[in-house]
């Protein structure tokens, strides 16, 4: 495959005198790309070239500017015949009953990912096994390789024998009894119950501090499921309770799943805090993908203003996020790799040309640490729009850009990043980010 992109903005000129030459130059350019390709045109190339073929895309561009834009593809961005390039997307699907339109969005995501057509997709917040099964059934023809914490092996989520004989849900009957007989009484006696009626975070913050021994004795998956699902008793029970021997819906504790068109030669799942219980588990998938190298898929802790972890010693989630980052930095101190994640950190931007580029910033110091540690992301200069946006009806906070496709090391070059999966109605409270990365 070949990477092709053009950056820049239309200048001011005589549109009547420049369009014809620009179109001829571009037609010749497109013909050469088709001739150079050894396979079908990559979706990133096709979208870029079809956009530039429209006169409206370069109206006002001088002939010299058009030629410079075309030649910059060959000089500045190193178009290399035979170079292996893959398009990668990170997307937080937000598939929890706590985010509106959950059931509809479960059905909307698979066709959107097929249309996205990336080579590798890192998904976050695919929390429930039944949602994972539904997705994998719909995308199987395009993504035969996949992996998560729940997978028995690469490409196999659960065998039919396991589903039939050993059903598993986040909470079993004993967990439900423990919740009503231990968790609720402790929360009541400790004075935390009124806080739960104010908000779930307020209640959990109080209970994590005052009922930590009870929480540690409670099943971790069951507590996580309740935290993720409890908009009401009904939604909690639907997602978390056992259903005899016909209902298999394990909790995917970190919410991560990696999809690939190309062979995943090996893969592993690692917790950031092994041996510790977390209200929401934080982990990463590491995979070796054929002709691409090491790909890491993760979801870092959000820098919430509250803190309700009961088995960790941090003061807040920004500190916890830095500790998670340190695990990655130490693991890959001398190893090149590609990092796809909901990083839950991003810069503050106070003024911008459009409202969706004005960003509140989330733990911006942590974002800077990624850059200081040698990670390459050009999203802010390439696109710069929020990926968690208050224009999205599923979001009720200020704009932030917190989702990225980064890489570290000299093994790779890349095209500009772009926001994607920003459909209406929204698929999630997040939008995705897409980037084509080539192996040097």
Assign residue 316 the CATH number of its domain. 3.60.10.10
Environment class of residue 59 by beta-carbon count within 10 Å: exposed (0-12), middle (13-18) or buried (19+)? middle
Identify whether residues 383 and 269 lie together within a single domain.
yes
Res. 29: pLDDT tops 90:
no
Nearest to 1 by CA among 386, 436, 358: 436
50 lies in some domain: yes
Cα 435-129-90 angle, rounded to 5 deg: 10
Cα 378-300-109 angle, rounded to 5 deg: 80
Of 158 and 256, the one with more pLDDT? 256
| Mean pLDDT, rounded, for 406-414 | 96
| Mean pLDDT, rounded, for 61-83 | 41
How many structural domains are present in the chain? 3
**What would the pLDDT profile of 6-15 be if each residue is shown by its tens digit?**
333 333 333 3
Identify whether residues 306 and 397 lie together within a single domain.
yes
Highest mean pLDDT among 30-44, 199-213, 245-259, 299-313: 299-313
Q: Which of 67-76, 126-135, 310-319 has the lowest mean pLDDT?
A: 67-76
Q: Which of 53-62, 240-249, 337-346 has the lowest mean pLDDT?
A: 53-62
- Structural domain including 195 reads 173-240
Please state the length of the chain: 440
27 lies in some domain: yes
Report which secondary-structure segment, H or E, holds 164. helix 160-165
Using a cut of 0.85, tell me whether the model's pTM lies above it.
Answer: no
164 lies in some domain: no
Q: Hey, CA dihedral for 56, 57, 60, 62, is it positive or negative?
A: negative
375 lies in some domain: yes
Instruction: Report the distance separating Cα 350 and Cα 97, nearest Å.
Output: 33
**Residue 73: CB atoms within 10 Å:** 19
Looking at residue 48, what is its pLDDT?
47
Identify whether residues 259 and 400 lie together within a single domain.
yes
Identify whether residues 57 and 183 lie together within a single domain.
no
Identify whether residues 217 and 312 lie together within a single domain.
no
Domain end: 201, 220, 240, which one?
240
**What would the pLDDT profile of 374-393 be if each residue is shown by its tens digit?**
999 999 999 999 999 999 99
Identify whether residues 129 and 20 lie together within a single domain.
no
Domain end: 193, 219, 240, which one?
240
Instruction: Report the distance separating Cα 238 and Cα 131, nearest Å.
Output: 13
Identify whether residues 233 and 367 lie together within a single domain.
no
Q: Measured between alpha carbons, how far is residue 131 from residues 111, 148, 177 in Å?
A: 14, 13, 26
CB 362, CB 344: distance < 8 Å: yes
Identify whether residues 386 and 346 lie together within a single domain.
yes
256 preceded by cis ω (within 30°)? Answer: no
Identify whether residues 215 and 262 lie together within a single domain.
no
Nearest to 370 by CA among 400, 346, 337, 401: 346
152 lies in some domain: yes
Looking at residue 202, what is its pLDDT?
85
84 lies in some domain: no
Identify whether residues 24 and 58 lie together within a single domain.
yes
| Mean pLDDT, rounded, for 215-231 | 88
């Amino acid at each position: 495959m070949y990477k092709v992109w053009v950056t820049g903005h239309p200048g001011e000129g005589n549109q009547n005198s420049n369009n014809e030459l620009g179109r001829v130059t571009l037609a010749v350019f497109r013909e050469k790309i088709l001739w150079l390709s050894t396979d079908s045109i990559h979706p990133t190339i096709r979208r870029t070239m079809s956009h530039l073929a429209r006169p409206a895309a370069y109206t006002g561009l001088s002939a010299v500017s058009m030629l410079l834009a075309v030649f910059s593809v060959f000089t500045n961005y190193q178009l290399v015949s035979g170079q292996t390039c893959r398009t990668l997307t990170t997307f937080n699907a937000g598939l929890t009953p706590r985010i509106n339109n959950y059931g509809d969005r479960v059905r909307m995501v698979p066709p959107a990912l097929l249309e996205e057509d990336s080579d590798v997709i890192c998904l976050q917040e695919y929390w429930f096994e039944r949602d994972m099964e539904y997705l994998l059934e719909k995308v199987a023809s395009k993504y035969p390789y996949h992996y998560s914490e729940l997978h028995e092996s690469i490409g196999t989520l659960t065998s039919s024998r396991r589903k039939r004989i050993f059903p598993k849900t986040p909470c079993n009957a004993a967990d439900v009894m423990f919740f009503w007989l231990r968790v609720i009484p402790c929360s009541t006696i400790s004075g935390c119950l009124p806080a739960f009626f104010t908000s779930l975070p307020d209640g959990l913050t109080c209970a994590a501090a005052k009922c930590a021994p009870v929480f540690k004795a409670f099943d971790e998956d069951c507590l996580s499921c309740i935290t993720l699902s409890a908009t009401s008793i009904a939604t909690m029970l639907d997602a978390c309770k056992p259903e005899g021997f016909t209902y298999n819906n394990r909790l995917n504790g970190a919410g991560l799943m990696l999809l690939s068109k190309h062979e995943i030669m090996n893969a592993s799942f690692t917790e950031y805090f092994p041996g510790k219980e977390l209200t929401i588990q934080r982990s990463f998938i590491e995979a070796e993908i054929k002709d691409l190298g090491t790909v890491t898929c993760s979801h870092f802790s959000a820098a919430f203003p509250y803190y309700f972890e009961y088995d960790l010693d941090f003061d807040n989630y920004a500190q916890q996020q830095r500790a998670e980052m340190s695990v990655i930095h130490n693991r890959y101190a001398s190893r090149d790799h590609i990092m796809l994640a909901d990083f839950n950190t991003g810069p503050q931007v106070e003024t911008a040309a459009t409202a969706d580029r004005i960003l509140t910033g989330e733990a911006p110091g942590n974002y800077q640490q990624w850059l200081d540690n040698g990670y390459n992301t050009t999203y802010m200069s390439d696109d710069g729009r929020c990926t968690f946006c208050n224009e999205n009806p599923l979001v009720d906070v200020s704009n932030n850009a917190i989702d990225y496709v980064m890489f570290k090391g000299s093994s790779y070059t890349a095209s500009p990043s772009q926001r994607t999966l920003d459909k209406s109605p929204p698929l999630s409270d997040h939008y995705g980010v897409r980037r084509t990365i080539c192996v040097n």
